[in-house]
Amino acid sequence: MTQTRQLFGTDGIRGVAGEFPLTRDGVYWIGRALGHDLVRVKSKPQVVIGQDTRISSQWIADRFLQGLASVGVEARSAGVITTPGVAFLARSQGCDAGIVISASHNPWTDNGIKIFSGDGYKLPDARELAIEKEIFALLDSDAVPAPDPTAEASSVPGEESLRQAYVRWLAGGVSPDLTRLRVAVDCANGAGAVEAPELFRALKINTTFLHCAPDGQNINENCGALHPETVARFVADSLATEKQARFDVGVTFDGDADRALFCDAQGRVVNGDAVLLLAARDMQSRGALAHATVVATTMSNLGLELALKRSGIQMLRANVGDKYVLEEMQRVGATLGGEQSGHILFRDGEATTGDGLLTALRVLEIMVRTGKPLADLVSDLKVFPQTIRNVRVRNKTPFAQIPAVQAAIAAAERELDGNGRVVVRYSGTEALARVMIEAESKAQIDRLASTIVESIRSALGT
Catalytic residues: 104
CA distance 100 to 115: 6
Torsion, Cα 48 54 60 62, to 10 degrees, reads 60
Which residues are bridge partners to 114 per DSSP? 100
Say if CB 141 and CB 36 are below 8 A apart.
no
CA distance 325 to 293: 13
Q: Which residue, among 302, 286, 299, 301, has the nearest Cα to 346 in the 3D structure?
A: 286
Backbone angles phi, psi at 365, to 5 degrees: -60, -45
Describe the strand order of the beta sheet including 97-101 as a list of residue ranges. Answer: 8-9, 12-16, 110-117, 97-101, 46-51, 74-80
Secondary structure E strands in 127-286? 182-186, 206-210, 249-253, 260-263, 269-270
Burial class (CB in 10 A: 0-12, 13-18, 19+), 317: middle
- Compute the C-alpha angle 440/445/449, nearest 5°: 160
382 DSSP assignment = -
The reply to whether omega before 145 is within 30° of 0 (cis) is no
290 DSSP assignment = G
Secondary structure E strands in 53-197? 74-80, 97-101, 110-117, 182-186
Sign for the pseudo-dihedral over CA of 18, 51, 254, 380: negative
CA distance 75 to 69: 8
399 DSSP assignment = G
